[in-house]
Amino acid sequence: MGRKKQRHARRDRDAARRHAAAYRCGHCHSTATATPGGVVAIHHDDGCPVLGGAVSDLGDTLRAAAASGGVVLLDASTGAHVTAFFGDGDAPGEG
Ligand SMILES: [Zn+2]
């Protein structure tokens, strides 16, 4: 049981690393890093319009997802989005 959880956590971390490596802000050209817990942190410059919410980072997110094998899920009513990764036969509807 615990072993399976570890593999899952490592896969999440690897996906986060791939996504972080592929992410580049289209406005301030900042990069991103992934935490050991699999969270992607984007390091925008202080004056970046994405930070203030004036400009969406959706285009950058879509490009990074395409390059890293992710899928962007969008809440059309709020514009909030998250990048998800389905792999190793764990996609919805598969075994
Ligand atoms: Zn930025």
Q: Is 67 helix (H, G, I), strand (E, B) or coil?
A: helix
Report how far ligand 1's centroid is from the alpha carbon of 95 (Å). Answer: 39
Beta-bridged to residue 32, according to DSSP, are 42
Dihedral of CA 78/51/64/18: which sign? negative
91 is a domain residue: no
Picking from 93, 92, 44, 32, the residue whose alpha carbon sits closest to that of residue 68 is 32
pLDDT tens digits in sequence order for the chain, 95 residues long: 555 566 677 888 899 999 999 999 999 999 999 998 888 999 999 999 999 889 999 999 999 999 999 999 999 898 789 999 887 544 444 43
80 is a domain residue: yes
Ligand 1 ion: nearby residues, β-carbon < 5 Å: 25, 27-28, 30, 44, 48, 50
Are 68 and 90 spatial neighbours (Cβ–Cβ below 8 Å)? no
Report how far ligand 1's centroid is from the alpha carbon of 90 (Å). Answer: 33
- CA-based max dimension of the chain: 47
Task: Give the structural domain span for 54.
Answer: 2-84
How many structural domains does the chain have? 1
Its pTM stands at 0.77
90 is a domain residue: no
